[in-house]
Amino acid sequence: MHLFDQDVSLSLPSPDGFKTQVTKNWSINGNPNGGYLMALVANAMRECSEKKALLISTATYLSRCLPGNGDIFVENIGLSKNFDRWQAKLLQDGREIVRAMGTFMDAPIDPLEKRYEKPAPELAAVEDCIQIPPMGTYTLYDGMDVRLDPRCAGWFQGSLVDISEHKGWIRFQNDRPWDALAILLAADSFPPPVFASQGMTAWVPTIEFSVNIRNIPTTRWLKCIFRSHFIHNNILEEDGEIWDENNELVAISRQIAQFRKK
């Protein structure tokens, strides 16, 4: 079993939820990554759903999460011919950490019907991009191979640009294949794009996060682009696109986060 599958696993199912273990293996400075937490609660909702293809996952982050025991409680909020909708809560020591909603379906209604009005991002070759190295308590990068296009990686050396944008490549370090839960992790694995224009001087905790999955890729690498356009009242948005190596759209995402200078 791949480490990621082990770390989103559930135990002791009950009529309304599961026991789980939040691990430190997908953390940013000791804090479990928001995409990892979303995958954990989405797995619980999928386990209960009559339909197994995850279409939309949305999470609100209410309290700081720490590695350790957790309880996930799930509730069905709507079942129709095409969609099964669930709500989930992740609690630690009785404190609610994450509240999430998931929409599931059987299979794409018409996988051949598509229209793209935007192309996939143009990236430097994988070997020419800047790999984010493992950094102690940033254990996310022990498991994920994230490589930034050199045009948006100048902030590593203090060279900033005017556009808050990150784009690059991502895969699992051990080449685990992609599935819906892994896409949720990938959508939150790049550094905040505001670092490109403001430097790594900001605190950017996620408030809300939504991922809309359009396709399960079969390629090894995924191409990603994330962009923030506005900072206002210490709040910013982060819009993301994930594509496969064949320029097929995999997912779109939006995060709302706080922005504060340290």
pLDDT at res. 227: 98
On whether residue 241 sits in a domain, the answer given is: yes
The pLDDT confidence band at residue 262, using thresholds 50, 70 and 90, is low
pLDDT per position as a tens digit, 71-92: 999 999 999 999 999 999 999 9
pLDDT at res. 13: 72
pLDDT per position as a tens digit, 93-136: 999 999 999 999 998 655 667 889 999 999 999 999 999 988 88
Domain end: 73, 105, 137, which one? 105
pLDDT at res. 82: 92
d(CA 186, CA 204): 17
| Residue 222 and residue 149 share a domain | yes
| Residue 205 and residue 136 share a domain | yes
| Residue 133 and residue 88 share a domain | no
| Residue 240 and residue 133 share a domain | yes
pLDDT at res. 107: 80
CB pairs under 8 A, 24+ apart, for 127-135? 129/153, 129/168, 129/169, 130/156, 130/168, 132/191
Please give the tally of structural domains in the chain. 2
pLDDT per position as a tens digit, 211-230: 999 999 999 999 999 999 99
| Residue 237 and residue 161 share a domain | yes
On whether residue 113 sits in a domain, the answer given is: no
Range of the domain at 156: 126-261
Provide the CATH number for the domain around residue 29: 2.40.160.210
Give the mean pLDDT of 247-258. 97
| Residue 131 and residue 255 share a domain | yes
pLDDT per position as a tens digit, 145-193: 999 999 999 998 889 999 999 999 999 999 999 999 999 999 999 999 9
Residue 70: pLDDT over 90: yes
Give me the percent of the chain exceeding a pLDDT of 90. 87
| Residue 210 and residue 139 share a domain | yes
| Residue 137 and residue 257 share a domain | yes
pTM assigned to the model: 0.96
Residue 256: pLDDT over 90: yes
pLDDT at res. 14: 67
- Residue with the bigger pLDDT between 202 and 38: it is 38
| Residue 140 and residue 34 share a domain | no
Looking at residue 140, what DSSP letter applies?
Answer: H
pLDDT at res. 27: 96
CB pairs under 8 A, 24+ apart, for 155-161? 155/195, 155/196, 155/199, 155/200, 156/130, 158/199, 160/196, 160/197, 160/198, 160/199, 161/196, 161/197
Question: How high is the mean pLDDT of the chain?
Answer: 94
pLDDT per position as a tens digit, 52-65: 999 999 999 999 99
pLDDT at res. 109: 56
| Residue 181 and residue 81 share a domain | no
| Residue 249 and residue 134 share a domain | yes
| Residue 134 and residue 101 share a domain | no
